[in-house]
Structure 1
Amino acid sequence: MIHTFYARNYGCLVDTEASLTPLHAFIGPNDSGKSTLLHGMRTLVQLAGSHFQQDKGRWRPFEPYLLMTYPSSQPPRKPHDILLECGVDGGWFAIEMGPRGLQERAGERRISDMSAGHDRSNVPRLWETRSVLWRSKRPSEQQILTQLRQVRLVRFDPDALRAPSGLIPETQPVGFLDDRGHGLAGIYFAIRNRNDDAFSRIVDDVRRHFPTIKGLRVKVVTSSEVVLEVELVNGARVEAARLSEGLLYYLAFAALRYMDPVSLLLVEEPENGLHPARIAEVMRILRAIVEESGTQVLMATHSPLVVNELKPDEVSVVTRTAEEGTRVKRIKDTPDFEERSKVYALGELWIAYANGEDEAPLLEAPSLDPRHSRR
């Protein structure tokens, strides 16, 4: 599990550190760096596990933020002076991008050194290199790398969830084809064939939360493609193209619980498209993923309803200034938290004191009356 994450010169993360729990949420205003934190951790884990695919000469599916313009008030930085580092059980792992290319370190010893391998007149785009990271066989380093074996990031899009998808061979892991959720129908086909009890549990949950639905089907439309379809209690059948966004989002989160596990699951705005009552259920699903598979789940959210489902040490407030870049602080470490938490639920506390721009009222210990924090 990642206990701490540190980034230097990665997008808006100029000099940023975050302490993490097995289930953790980043809250804060738009453009504060919440998504960049998730993308930084995805880049780090992908490099640790060498999980890449070649697509027309480019590494997929990530693009690290290697270019950034810094305020004139900050001292100049070396080109490619980028560092991503995390603390895990038994040690730490770091990726540093400098003039000589990529350096990968675990514990106290550098275990890889990779050159950028193309025209030095341009800023190296690391994901386009064709080098392969060397894997250490030292037990202590393997213990570290095992905790960073694979990552999945999701930011679901209803059109992607509706789309027909191919079948997943028995020899391949079950998972989405991209961040937006392409392949959902094929995932449900695989869940039904590999774990009929899991498919039945999902259907039972769907019936309970969506009373007009009688059943869930995976309809074969060609010899190699399937789509989702639901049957209503009145006997009518609704194809994926006409399914509500809320139902599609719920089905996507429900499927996550039965996919091949990863060490790190990153979720952008889990509240999107969901009825408030379904948000609590999705949070229960995400907590179950943590408890059942040991996957660490980190999310970026704007929803106080998401925050209400979490504990104080599971929430961090993210702010950003032109002078310092992104900063991360546990909500329980904000001024007068104990007193404030007696008045507000966790999500209400945040929304009452956030001014929509920089969360200053929450971080600067204003009066307990949120009206006094407004200007």
Structure 2
Amino acid sequence: MKKWYHQYFRGVKPLMTYEILVWLVYVCIYKWATFAEETHVPRLRTNFPMPELILYAIGTTLYIIPYYRWIGAKLLEKRRFVWLFFVTILYFWFVPKYCSYVVASVFQAVSHNPLTIPFYNSQVRMFERLIFAPQLQLQFLLTDMMAFFSVMFMRYATQNERKRSNLEKEHLALQLDTLKAQLHPHFLFNTLNSIYGMSITGAKDTPAYILKLSDMMRYILYDCRHHAVDLEKDIAFLDNYMQMEQKRYPAAHIDFQMPATPIPAISIAPLMLIPFMENVFKHGAHRVVDDAFIRGELVVNEEELVFELENSVMPVTPMQRGPYGGVGIENVKKRLALYYPNRHRLQIEQTDTIYSVHLTIQLKA
């Protein structure tokens, strides 16, 4: 609930603040000051703040709320630009002067202030002429349109950005589900084969590896359903995965240093590091060469996470060389850009014999 509230009001709060400022600065101050400076009521400006005149300024501006909140906003959202053009002309040709006439008549009837009664009388006479004349109310029409069109377009832009962000997150969530689905079968089968071999030889640590596998599958199935998980759990999953693969390739020179200090209580997007580790064991030279190596380090503190990994690869000809990592790495890049914009640095280098990854994530915004 708290996360949803934050996502929804992240764009709404600044928009509401801007809209309130338009009403305060433009309507309650600018229009009030203009009314107070009317030449036929010279003493109004000496009776600041004249709350009655502020209410009059607000009343004569209420007509624009249905337009920028609903009519124009809906047409703009549906991209009916031709309709928006003609509806705008018709709306601002008729509605402002009729609304202002009604408001001026109401204030003329209820006002008992000798300073404002002549002002309301003049306003009523002016709007009576405009109602039956084929012309616009130009006194505040253009400034009203400029002020509140900006609110309408800001609302439109904010809604589009929120929709785009939600679609992108949903797309990446689907990609994460795909990544987990890809990780399940071949990892599960390979690990079960390794545990099966251990059980045949009577290895004493077979139950421990069965327990590790159970923990890993539970993490994938349950914890990774959320957008963020405990960093400690994600690192534990990575450690278990590495130990499982190390058991499969006992001849490989594997040296990966996990954090020695207690892991801080920080959340991270799930399965962000595992594609790199998976590719190491999937494409590394250790599968066919006994003296191949895999080495790296994971360093974590309250501020950042640093992940370094490199492995030896089989020499390939220029015709054989292709992208290393494929969909999994591209998925990580997109998720990093979404969840850690301007807070991460990813460097991937590949030579004929070595593939290396250096990833830094700023954990606190």
TM-score, structure 1 as length reference: 0.19
The structure with the larger Rg is: 2
- Which of the pair is proportionally richer in helix? 2
TM-score, structure 2 as length reference: 0.19
Structure of higher RCO (CA pairs closer than 8 Å, 6+ residues apart): 1
- Which of the pair is proportionally richer in strand? 1
